[in-house]
Structure 1
């Protein structure tokens, strides 16, 4: 008869070894914001990881933005609409002007800032934010940040002039002015000076 001792010894050795968990891609849990963005936002078309802040923006816009089922814009992102504004109608990339030139001309407030149509500016900002998220999801070029930050600054200026200034530090006019200037560093100085001036004009 064969001895069963070696078998018992092997079993004991195996049970004594530390167990290494087998991890698959299904076991890796993305951040909640990223999950919401990819499941609910029609403009998130790619698989590139989104920073948490960007994923949060996508999730917050998911119920506000509608996407065209046939028309696309930058990097293949669907043409998006918020309220009465469709991205293709305010697309800086279709212009021969620089991004900042385009923004200054197309997103100018009324002379009396407080009388500007806040809803138009907010809708324009929404479609720019959604399109930027879509571009990020495919790892595309982010020249869109210049007009996007300019729109954010304009919204902040209007809100401030209307007596409802944003309270979040990242939405203050001066902070957004600096964001525009930083991202538009290669633009003509005269255009940068216009941004600096606008940031002081809050009425």
Structure 2
């Protein structure tokens, strides 16, 4: 005679409950995080690093005139910035296969004669570079941008001088800015450095 098997209820009571898998939220994947200004009320200042006074002053000046993309970023996660009709990503040295100085010499060439160059265009290009540099500094990123930035500053100074309005501040003089370019472009070829030196003497 067969003996009835015990009910399986006892077994069921000892079963381990299946783990509950909580799906990861994908709500924000692939979306740019909201950019909140942290210093100077500037949309391009995304980090918390304290800015040098000169850079902080520049960021304050540009805060109300420069606009930031809500989705596109450039170097070190800094939002793409626009001033007037000039957008940084359109003249971003870091996307070029050229060296920073070679890019600057070709991209930021002035007209002939020098005085006929559109000063506003060069000032807008300089300002989007200055804003991007400020953003990079706020997150402690690489400052390779200084080479084309200083070159643009030199070009603006050359244009102003040729148009009869040379800058009066010592730090904005052509020769001072030439030296800034050369100092920061030490790894560039001598031929490119010589081009910068020659440009600094051509003020008409």
Give yes or no for TM over 0.5: yes
Match of 1:32 in 2: none
> Are the aligned partners of 1:71 and 1:78 in contact in 2 as well (CA < 8 Å)?
yes
- Structure with greater proportional helix content: 1
Q: 4+ runs of 1 displaced by more than 2 Å?
A: none
* Secondary structure in structure 2 of the residue aligned to 1:38: coil
Q: TM-score, normalised by structure 2?
A: 0.81
Kindly report which structure 2 residues correspond to 1:184-203, keeping only aligned pairs within 5 A, or say none.
184-203=185-204
User: Are 1:84 and 2:85 an aligned pair?
Assistant: yes
Question: Which digits, 9 at most, give the CA deviation of each residue in 1:64-98, with x for residues without a partner?
Answer: 11000110000000000011100000000000000
- Following superposition, the deviation at residue 37 of structure 1 comes to 7.2
User: Are 1:173 and 2:174 an aligned pair?
Assistant: yes
Q: TM-score, normalised by structure 1?
A: 0.81
Partners of 1:183 and 1:63 in 2: CA distance: 30
Match of 2:31 in 1: none
Match of 1:102 in 2: 103
The CA RMSD over aligned residues, in Å, is 1.1
How many residues were matched structurally? 168
Bigger radius of gyration: 2
Partners of 2:173 and 2:65 in 1: CA distance: 23
- The unaligned stretches of length 5 or more in structure 2 are 1-36
Partners of 2:152 and 2:192 in 1: CA distance: 15
> Are the aligned partners of 2:40 and 2:63 in contact in 1 as well (CA < 8 Å)?
no
- The unaligned stretches of length 5 or more in structure 1 are 1-35
